[in-house]
Structures are given as structure tokens and as C-alpha cells.
Amino acid sequence: MEVGTNRPLTPEEAAELTEECFDSFDAFVNRWPKPIRDWDSGQVVEWEGEGVTIKDITGRTFIDCLGGYGVFTLGHRHPEVIAAVKAQLDRLALHSQKLLNPIAYEAAKRLAKVSPGDLKRTFFTNSGTEAVEGALKLARLYTRKPKFVSTVNSFHGKTLGSLSVTGRDIFRKPMLPLLAVSFVPFGDAGAVERAIDDETCAVIVEPIQGEGGVHVPPDDYLPALREITRKKNVLLIVDEVQTGLGRTGKMFGVDHWGVVPDIMCLAKGLSGGVIPCGAFHTNDEIWRSFHPLPLFQTSTFGSNPLAVTCAAKTIEITARDRLPERAAETGAYFLGKLEELIERLPGVIREARGKGLLIGLEAITEELGTRLAHALFDRDVLVANTLNNPRVIRIEPPLIIERAVVDEVLGRMEAAMKAVRAAPSGR
């Protein structure tokens, strides 16, 4: 196929490209759990995105309730982010590595302004897993201790350090040995306290477990972790890769409970949905661990001008347009309506839960969840299962989604649930 043009395709070209894509994906790119052609007869080729919708190559339009696993807080191709990136691209695409990059400090300054407490210093990365890697290294440098405490069913990424603290054996076991980590149940502060020993350097936790199946902890959980980690002299690393930037109805997940962590990890939404950008973010004191040798952590592409332009613009737009508040309102409405649907149409979904626009629908069985996801796909709504808990379907639309579009999704959800209930099995 031609790369780098927006020339309109004829229907024949679209059909040809779809065929080519099916074959070439399995041949040249990573295989999905099954060959693409058999995996999902609804698999289509993505082509354009705008706001809360994404179109396939034939022009079929989906409402994006998957949101790139939480990337598209601002929606697809937010016009202000696109304009800023285009302007930057016309001036300097990637940084010299030698001269000072003014957008990097501007993005970091904006992050410090919206983040809780004394969090101030930022290292920009290219992804969530790198943000977690940096946080783990910084915690080790600061404490000079080797071990971590993490939670069962957590997801922190898949490079070796972040995989070490990811609480899912299916991904970890083939890669052992990894870093020394004790896993404790999510939501149980007492278990964290018991797991900390003299060798422990930090506790890492998601404020709300995303890939574990959208689990909101008890209200006293994060405040208790803050107290315990202070008392035991270990660091509290909060992974806000999925929950950050307004997703849960506050700027950061920890803001629901007024907790200031020692290190915060970000990515996904920080990209503005345009250029990948992650970060780990900490206070002056912990940051000083890098001072003896700032080269302890480096990245050629981290903090590149295009990425930090997106980060700076995203923070500006998220705060200015009060997107966290909007997510809280829309999310409460969405969740309430989903709960009504579940009550009216029992037998498919056991529970709807979440905060803001991070919503999980726990199906009664994995098969029912998969069938519901397919039925929604057939009705042009994109959703997906959570990675560590396939029984849970995530609903993570852009925070800019309008009430009328939520109502449209709810209508399609009702039809999809009825279709799943009507058919004994299969699609």
C-alpha cells in the first residue's frame, strides 16, 4: 500500500487493501491469539478518527468506547493538539539532544501545576512501561533497597522491570527470574503492611485497577498505603498510566482520596491521542538521587518536541475544559444507566462498576462477555476486554463524549444485550 497519502480510495482499492491487511498482518506483524482471519469475523481495517468516532477503510463509523485502552481522553485528533504538533513539525521534529528543548520544561511545569502536593520533577518517556521502569529505578536509587510490593492482577507494563511488578502469572512466568516482588491482594492495606520487610524499597499500585478488571478500592485504601509507606520508610509509587489526566473524574486517580505519592507514572492520555508520551514524576528530594549521575536514566526519543507539545497541550486543554469534572458527570450518568439495563436485562452482565469514564462491565461468564463485545461491534460500538480479566468489558470513551452519544451507546447496548440473551450461544 501507499504510505503517507490521504488520497481517497476507490471501493475496489479498499477491498484489496483489506485482503492484503488480513494476510500481511499475520505474516509480517505479531500474530494475534488466533490468525486474524478466524479470530474475529468483525475485524476491519482502521482508517480515520475524529472526536469520539473511528472509521474503517470502507467508511463504517464506530463509536469509540475503547478509547485506545485509555489513550484518547481528548478524543481522536483533537484540533488544538493537531495544530500544535503541525506547527512544531514545521519547525523542529526531533530534538538535537545537545541544545535545550523549551517545550520539555513547559510541559513539565504544567504537569507540576496540576499534580498533587510537592510533585514537581518530570522525566518524559515514550510509553507507560518506560515510565514504570524509570520509577522503579529511581526508587531503588533513593532507598538503596531491592524489593517491591505490588498487587495481584495489577498491570504495569511488559518490559522486564514493569513485568516484574505486574501481577499476572501468564505474562511473568516464562520470563522468570524477574525482580524480587511480593504480591498482595488489591484493596487490602494490611496485606501491604505485612509484606513490607527490611529489603523493601517501594509499594507500587494503580489507584483503580484498570486491566485487572476495573476495581475501585475501598475509600481508606490509598490513604492507608500512604500512612504505612511513610511509617515503614518505603516509597509509594502510583501508576496513573490509565487513571491519569481526568479519566476517573479527577485530574489524577489519587485526587479522589487526597493522597500525594512519592512517584507518579503517566502515559496514555498524556499523548493527547496524537504522539506517544509518558512520564514519571516526583518531588525534589527523591529526584536528587539522579544528581550524582543524571545519566542514570536517559532516552533518545523521550521528551522529544512533538511528544512534549502533546503533553503540554493535553494538560492545558484538560484543565481549561474541566474534562475531569465532565468525566465525573458523564461517567455517573453512564454507570447509572448501565446498572438500570443490567437490572432490566439479567443473565449477561453481573455488575457495572468504575469511576468517571473508566467503567467495567463484568459478564457472568467470559463467553457471555465476548459475545456482548461482538454484539456491540456488530452495532458499531468499540469495546474490549480488560487484559488481566477477560470477563470484564471496559468502557473508556473519550472524556469529551456528549450525553446524546452516551444515550446512543446505551440504546445499542440494550439491543446487544437482548441479542446475546436471545441466542443460546455463538455470535
Distance, in Å, from the CA atom of 151 to the CA atom of 165, rounded to the nearest integer, reads: 8
173 CB neighbour count, 10 Å cutoff = 9
Quote the least distance from Cβ 376 to ligand PLP, whole Å. Answer: 21
128 in contact with ligand PLP (CB under 6 A) = yes
Bridge partner residues of 124 (DSSP): 279
Taking the C-alpha atoms of residue 347 and residue 268, their distance in angstroms, rounded to an integer, is 34
Q: Does 239 bind ligand PLP (CB under 6 A)?
A: yes
Measured from each CB, the residue nearest to ligand PLP is: 128
- What is the phi/psi pair of residue 95, to 5°? -85, 160
Stretch that binds ligand PLP, among 189-197, 235-243, 244-252, 410-418 (CB under 6 A): 235-243
Binding track, positions 195-214, relative to ligand PLP; x by CB under 6 A? -----------x---xx---
301 binds ligand PLP (CB under 6 A): no
Cα–Cα distance for residue pair 64/289, rounded to 1 Å: 42
316's CB contacts (< 8 A; 6+ apart) are: 110
**How far is the C-alpha of 170 from the C-alpha of 363, rounded, in Å?**
21
User: Does residue 133 interact with ligand PLP by CB under 6 A?
Assistant: no
Q: Does 127 bind ligand PLP (CB under 6 A)?
A: yes
How far apart are CB 278 and ligand PLP at their closest, in Å? 6
**Does residue 253 belong to the site contacting ligand PLP (CB under 6 A)?**
no
Please check whether residue 285 is in contact with residue 360, taking contact to mean a CB–CB distance below 8 angstroms. no
Question: What residues between 39 and 78 interact with ligand PLP by CB under 6 A?
Answer: 69
Q: Does 193 bind ligand PLP (CB under 6 A)?
A: no
Per the structure block, which three cell numbers stand in for 101? 528543548
CB nearer to ligand PLP: pick between 277 and 317: 277
- Minimum Å gap between C-beta 129 and ligand PLP is 3
**Minimum CB separation from ligand PLP for residue 94, in Å?**
20
Instruction: Enumerate residues 6+ apart whose C-beta is below 8 A from 354.
Output: 208, 214, 216, 248, 331, 335, 360, 395
The correct pick among 57, 149, 241, 348 for binding ligand PLP (CB under 6 A) is 241
Q: Check binding of 316 to ligand PLP (CB under 6 A).
A: no
d(CA 101, CA 336): 46
Q: Do residues 398 and 80 touch, judged by C-beta distance below 8 A?
A: no
Q: What are phi and psi of 23, to 5 degrees?
A: -70, -45
Residue 262 lies near ligand PLP (rule: CB under 6 A) = no
Beta bridge partners of 282: 121, 263
Q: In whole angstroms, how close is the CB of 187 to ligand PLP at the nearest point?
A: 16
- Among 283, 199, 279, 275, smallest CA distance to 245 is for 279
Among 123, 124, 155, 290, binds ligand PLP (CB under 6 A): 155
Mention every residue, 6+ apart, whose C-beta is less than 8 A from residue 222: 205, 207, 238, 254, 257, 259
92-100, 110-118, 155-163, 327-335 -> range binding ligand PLP (CB under 6 A): 155-163
Check binding of 324 to ligand PLP (CB under 6 A): no
Q: Which of these ranges, 28-36, 238-246, 287-295, 398-406, lies near ligand PLP under the rule CB under 6 A?
A: 238-246
Least CB distance to ligand PLP at residue 259 (A): 16
Residues that bind ligand PLP (CB under 6 A): 69, 127-129, 132, 155-157, 206, 210-211, 239, 241-242, 267
